[in-house]
Amino acid sequence: MSLSSIDRLRRWRRAMLGCVMLLGAAGWLAAPAMADAPPAADQQTVRTWCAGCHTEDTPGQFQRLSAVRKSPEGWQMTIFRMQHVHNLALPDDARDAIVKFLSDTQGLAPSESAAGRFALERRPNMPDLKLGDDLPDMCGRCHSLARVSLQRRDADTWLRLVHMHVGQFPSLEYQASARDRYWWDIATKQLPAKLGAMFPFDTQAWRGWMNRPHADLGGEWLVHGHSPGKGDFVGTLSVKATGGDNYTAHYSLQSPEGKPIGEIDSLVRVYTGYEWRGSSKVGSVDTHEVLALSEDGRRLTGRWFEAAHTEVGGDVVAERAEGPAAVFMVSPRALKIGTTSEVLIAGRGLNGTVTFGNGTSVKVLKASPTLIRASVKVNDKAAPGPRAVTVGRTSAADMAAVYDKVDRLDVQPAYGIARVGGGHIDPVTAQFEAFGFIESQAGQAPVALGPMNVSWKVEPYNADAVKAQDVKFAGRIQPDGSFVPGPGGPNPERVFGTNNAGDLTVVAGLDQEGKELRGQAHLIVTVQRWNTPPIY
């Protein structure tokens, strides 16, 4: 195939503008390598690598790219597309600098990224955003609508995006949920104005945010969190600024029982003044953190996850170590009537008498301003219900719950997906957790007891699953509630030689004095996703 004149022009202009032509591998939003100076984030890098095609009409205004705002991952994906579809060759340093610069200057305000954060955090099995009747089919049949919500354009630029989609993926109009309608007419005549109104380029929120000076995240933080299937964790986070919104971070984490989880070093870059992206190694496993800094600069919230298995991870909260006394977490949350439990209270400035309310007696075993280990006895006459936990003058409502009997188990996610592996794609596991509840009584809300220790099994979801022996082939559920799918590819032992897909009911069982309380969820075990972008 001969090169088109546009390709030739593009290549010539790039060759003239770019000095170093290296093939950049697409990677995680890279925190800088320890030994290297962080790449400078400035407009010149954009000019050097992008202006060959994105002509700079007026100083700092580049065709197309200056009309879009996105998350850091969104910019990363755009550059990936430029590399892999349009043969852009640029060094990793330049790529990282461009992502940083564009995220800072054409990013999203915290209020704009809030709804779609679950996609940035790679939370598995999340219900997608509800964005009206037509967007689920028009956009959401390929992408999450969270991905749509994490971009800002005016109507004319949304229209150009439609042209890009059909130009690049001509089969798009032929697919199910496209061919049943006049897709092109809707996509070009109705959607751009709608998206431009929902997600416009110019907003008060962004104007207000973009000019705020970036907070310095350096200093000491207190961490608490929860990893489904693994449990709660607490610890400290020590953050040191290395310049240019780059940081080194050291996590020191332990389980509620005091067992060390890890001393973890993370390289962090903060985008857009609040988007914390960390990369670290836990043992031999590469992990990432996607956290967001609160607008007051005092709290980081988000998720950690394994780089190769983003479905494996957990919630993370970090609070500034300096600040007013507060109780952040009590673990375990549920305290059974007539028993004595050892609990951990995590907080800040903890000092004074510890109480869990009427019918309980507390013996402090070990105390520091941030962690208190205590033995809590709940007597036979204690009333079931939520409990405030008080340490000295600091009290936090609904931090614990007293119960006699668990009335209900809610298995989360209620609808989960696991995927067989195969080729270069790893299997995707599905992690389930069973949350206990006391049912509502006398107009009171149900009382949440938190994750319960249960036994796990899977059953066929329906008659087809019985017939196809899905339980035998689709995979195994582990004692921690993690479902590990079977191997990928056609399986000659199955009817039609089909792969190890399955339709299963995940069953959590809780033994209560010889009677089993059962909770259940629906699990689909399906085929691989062959493309695994940072934002689905």
| CB closer to another protein out of 78 and 125 | 78
Q: What is the CA radius of gyration of the chain?
A: 26
Q: How far is the CB of 235 from another protein (least distance, A)?
A: 47
| CB closer to another protein out of 163 and 472 | 163
| CB closer to another protein out of 5 and 368 | 5
10, 7, 8: which is closest to 49 by C-alpha? 10
Quote the CA–CA distance of 166 and 164 in Å, as a whole number: 6
Quote the CA–CA distance of 52 and 374 in Å, as a whole number: 65
Q: What angle do CA 372, 376, 381 make, to 5 degrees?
A: 155
Q: How far is the CB of 426 from another protein (least distance, A)?
A: 22
Spell out the residues 6+ positions from residue 447 whose beta carbon is closer than 8 angstroms to its own: 384, 385, 386, 401, 403, 437, 438
| CB closer to another protein out of 82 and 471 | 82
32, 99, 110: which is closest to 72 by C-alpha? 99
User: Coil, strand or helix: which one is 157?
Assistant: helix
Spell out the residues 6+ positions from residue 111 whose beta carbon is closer than 8 angstroms to its own: 205
Q: How far is the CB of 203 from another protein (least distance, A)?
A: 24
Q: How far is the CB of 54 from another protein (least distance, A)?
A: 5
Q: How far is the CB of 166 from another protein (least distance, A)?
A: 5
Q: How far is the CB of 248 from another protein (least distance, A)?
A: 38
Two tokens, residue 169: 């993926």
Q: How close are the terminal C-alpha atoms of the chain, in Å?
A: 33
Report whether 127 contacts 419 (CB < 8 A).
no
Q: How far is the CB of 196 from another protein (least distance, A)?
A: 17
User: Could you give phi then psi for residue 437, rounded to 5 degrees?
Assistant: -140, 145
The torsion of the CA quartet 67, 69, 70, 76, rounded to 10 degrees, works out to: 50
| CB closer to another protein out of 86 and 518 | 86
| CB closer to another protein out of 9 and 285 | 9
What is the binding site for another protein (CB under 8 A)?
A: 1, 4-6, 9-10, 53-55, 63-65, 160, 163-164, 166-168, 170-171, 173-174, 176, 179-180, 182-184, 490, 492, 495-498
| CB closer to another protein out of 90 and 329 | 90
